Structure 1
Amino acid sequence: MAQNPHPEQKRRVGETDGGAVVVRDDGGLEAQYDEDRLAALRAVLEPRTLRILQQLLASETGALSPKEVAFRNNDITESTVRDHLRSLTDRDLVEKLEPEVETVPNRIPRTYYAVSEYGIELLKQVGMYDGLAILYQVYQRMDRPEEIRIIEEWENRPRPDWL
């Protein structure tokens, strides 16, 4: 069993208070996390989720289509990306965006995803928000196939409200 590095402080972890996890020490400090937020923090720290969230944020428009995300992640299929983005949407970590035009040209996706303000807040909390500028620079230098360039250059692609 691990030794407490501060034996003068007795911690009580895991007490619940109205559905929240409470951490208390004898020094009067208290931190409270609701279980949904803890689950969201765990999800953000999952490597594939973290990578996708950072890629969405490191894009020029702040939103990517599943095809663009799949292009940036050659180890997963577009179908898997779609499933993952739906799951992240259900957890309120990303939001689904659609173009605000009546007709979308062929070869242009009709659905895009952007990290929600809540997702950004969680990324900042776990220290994974800083450094996105480096990812942005890396993606700007990547060679892209024509189908990805066409999507990126489409002038009516949606943008998140926070951008």
Structure 2
Amino acid sequence: MMMRIFILAFSPSIATSFVPQSAFKPHTACHQNNIQPLKMGFFDNLFGGGVQAEASHILISGDDADSKLEDIKQNIYKTALKGKSADMGVDAEALMSSFAQQARKFSSCPSGQKGGSLGCFGKGQMVPEFDEVVFNDQVGVVHGPIQTQFGSHLILITDRDE
């Protein structure tokens, strides 16, 4: 019995004639310097998987962690607003900067030294409580306190594939 095996190989330049160019463009900031997600973006779009997000967090443990995080959350918004009316909304860059400053100051996670940034990650790479927030709640808003096995978190979702 003779078996024939066909191997299909393609390059993005060939595939673009069959697939819109947008399928090959990075969808989140975390893809900018990473060629692997760019290559896999074609398959993610084709098969509907691979949702990615980028987030930062502040982790605090202890009995009064939620109370501390509520105070930190208020400080984040207060600093980000810088005397502007809350009706005007918060500038995204100011919010991220304020969040990073508070993460460096208060977070017990090593990521605190990087402003709380967890970088880019896929669904299922974090604990379920964390994933629930990051992949379902609003981008550009500080969420929490959120309880996980590691402690209490404030989470700032900075980007997500939709």
TM-score, with structure 1 as normaliser: 0.27
The structure where strand makes up a greater share of residues is 2
Q: TM-score, normalised by structure 2?
A: 0.27
